[in-house]
Amino acid sequence: MPKHTTGTREQWLAARKELLKAEKDLTRRSDEVARQRQALPWVRVEKQYRFDTDEGNATLADLFRGRLQLLVYHFMFGPDYTAGCPHCSAIADGFNGNWIHLANHDVMLWAVSRAPLDKLAAFKRRMGWTFPWASSAASDFNYDFNVSFTEEQQRSGTAEYNFSKTGVSDTTGAPHDLPASVGTDWLTYIRELPGMSAFALEDGVVYHTYSAYARGVDSLWGLYQWLDRAPLGRNERGFWIRRHDEYDKR
């Protein structure tokens, strides 16, 4: 057991109330950051992107399915991967329960990856997920939104991730057993990186409103928000997350 202070109910309660003030303050700052996100200007999406979906070919506007807003989770699943990234899979376990609620609040949530649709469909079946998942293999979507990188970009060090050229190299500290989990080498593995993008549809025109990467998607990862409240917090060293059907196989 970790060394830890224990106290009476009164001592605990006094400390807890003190923390509550800080938590409330943080919640209000979170609301304020969300307001600033909404105040961001939008950019008209000029390029025509093609996606491969269960319903056939689709444009970016088609992905809205009649909603005004579209959220895309950039799921790391490159064409050479043998399975989707385990961390993205853990995030997807969360939004697999969300998307129906979002769809009824005028927001469509999609996962988008570069792997071909049949690979995505087989993996989705294995994991028992229901959210819509499109392949962006046929267009530059992943490259334009800075979640996929070419070998040339890797060689020349010109790839930008999380709004910075150092964003990609920041990921080199990631556990090196991750590539094995998707059946690739390290460089192939990090040709895809995680993120999310938001879009709005007005008068038939699609606007890009927001994108986030790296720890910018931390709050979307419900699992971590729970662990943050457990006695020992995230309490992690190295790569512990497995796809939800793989934990027994360790």
Q: Which of residues 151-210 bind another protein (CB under 8 A)?
A: 162-163, 196, 198, 200, 202-205, 207-210
Q: Which stretch binds another protein (CB under 8 A): 21-29, 50-58, 131-139, 174-182?
A: 21-29
Per CB under 8 A, the list member of 61, 90, 121, 174 interacting with another protein is 90
The CA-based angle 25-30-35, given to 5 degrees, is 125
Q: Which stretch binds another protein (CB under 8 A): 54-62, 103-111, 169-177, 186-194?
A: 103-111
Q: How far is Cα 141 from Cα 138, in angstroms, rounded to an integer?
A: 9
Per CB under 8 A, the list member of 47, 126, 155, 244 interacting with another protein is 244
Per CB under 8 A, the list member of 140, 155, 158, 240 interacting with another protein is 240
Q: Report yes or no: 116 and 52 within 8 Å, Cβ to Cβ.
A: yes
Strands 133-135 and 56-59: unpaired
Among candidate residues 240, 218, 222, 244, the one with its CA nearest the CA of residue 123: 244
Per CB under 8 A, the list member of 40, 122, 180, 187 interacting with another protein is 40
Task: State the DSSP H helix or E strand holding residue 8, giving kind and residue range, or none if neither.
Answer: none
Q: Report yes or no: 120 and 133 within 8 Å, Cβ to Cβ.
A: yes
DSSP assigned state of 192? B
Among candidate residues 181, 184, 149, the one with its CA nearest the CA of residue 168: 149
Q: Using CB under 8 A, which residues numbered 209 to 228 contact another protein? A: 209-212, 215-216, 218-223, 225-228
Per CB under 8 A, the list member of 9, 125, 237, 249 interacting with another protein is 9
Q: Using CB under 8 A, which residues numbered 113 to 132 contact another protein? A: none
Per CB under 8 A, the list member of 69, 153, 171, 188 interacting with another protein is 69
